[in-house]
Amino acid sequence: MSGPVTGQLEQRKRIRKSAIAFALLALGFYLGFIALSVYRSRH
């Protein structure tokens, strides 16, 4: 297959961005619940 056409490049960018966004969201839940537990332990 020759190199990706413009549409495919845009699709790849979208895929990369949304994958990173969901990974950050998961990280947020992980750290968020630990932070909540720290808060709860101190109050």
Partner 1 sequence: MAYASADHAHDDHHDQPATGIKRWLFTTNHKDIGTMYLVFSLIMFFVGGAMALVIRAELFKPGLQLVDPVFFNQMTTNHALVMIFGAVMPAFVGLANWMVPMQIGAPDMALPRMNNFSFWILPFAFTLLLSTFFVPGGAAAGGWTMYPPLVLQGGDGFPMLIFAVHMMGASSIMGAINVIVTIMNMRAPGMTLLKMPLFCWTWLITAYLLIAVMPVLAGAVTMLLTDHFFNTSFFNAAGGGDPVMFQHIFWFFGHPEVYIMILPAFGIVSEILPTFSRKPLFGYDSMVYATASIAFLSFIVWAHHMFTVGMPLAAQMFFMLSTMLIAVPTGVKVFNWTATMWRGSLTFEPPMLFAISFLFLFTIGGFSGVMLALVPADFQYQDTYFVVAHFHYVLVPGAVFSIMAAVYFWLPKWTGHMYDMTLAKWHFWLSTIFVNVLFFPQHFLGLAGMPRRIPDYSVQFADWNMVSSIGAFGFGLSQILFAVVIIKCVRGGQKATDKVWDGARTPGLEWTLPSPAPYHSFQTAPRVD
Kindly list the residues in this chain that would bind partner 1 in the complex (CB under 8 A): 1, 11, 14-15, 18-19, 22-23, 25-31, 33-34, 37-38, 40-41
CB of 4: closest distance to partner 1 in angstroms?
A: 12
State how far the Cα of 40 lies from the Cα of 33, in Å rounded to an integer: 10
CB of 30: closest distance to partner 1 in angstroms?
A: 4
State how far the Cα of 38 lies from the Cα of 32, in Å rounded to an integer: 10
CB of 40: closest distance to partner 1 in angstroms?
A: 6
State how far the Cα of 13 lies from the Cα of 33, in Å rounded to an integer: 30
